[in-house]
Amino acid sequence: MQLNMKISDLELCDTIEHENKIIGGVSTATYADASTSPGAGYAVALAVAIGDNSHTNAVTDVVVREKRNVIISKAKAVAFAIAWDEDEVSRSKSKDVSVTVVHK
């Protein structure tokens, strides 16, 4: 099957000039994942910021404590990103926390 289309009413578009601009503006993305199991923990945090000005921060923390009658596993992941230029701002934040408590 073949489809054909004739376009005959195209208008001329003017050229626009933008000096010192990043094409596409600003963009941010974050990801955070934390998980635990008895005696173990996992945490990952990612942050990306694209723009004229940008800042990122990613923090992870995993703690496993074993006491006489209990095992406590904690995992935390936090990611933050911000990007800005003269015209716009983009922010992104992700956070995940996991806790496992097991009685012996």
How far apart CA 15 and CA 23 sit, in angstroms, is: 15
- Whether the per-residue pLDDT at 2 is higher than 80: the answer is no
Contact 40, 64 (CB under 8 A): yes
For the record, the structure tokens of 42 come out as: 């996992």
How far apart CA 55 and CA 4 sit, in angstroms, is: 49
DSSP element (H, E) containing 14: none
pLDDT at 86: 86
pLDDT at 87: 87
Contact 96, 76 (CB under 8 A): yes
- Mean pLDDT, range 28-47, rounded to an integer: 96
pTM for the structure as a whole: 0.73
Half-sphere exposure of 79 (CA within 13 A, CB side): 17
- Mean pLDDT, range 90-101, rounded to an integer: 96
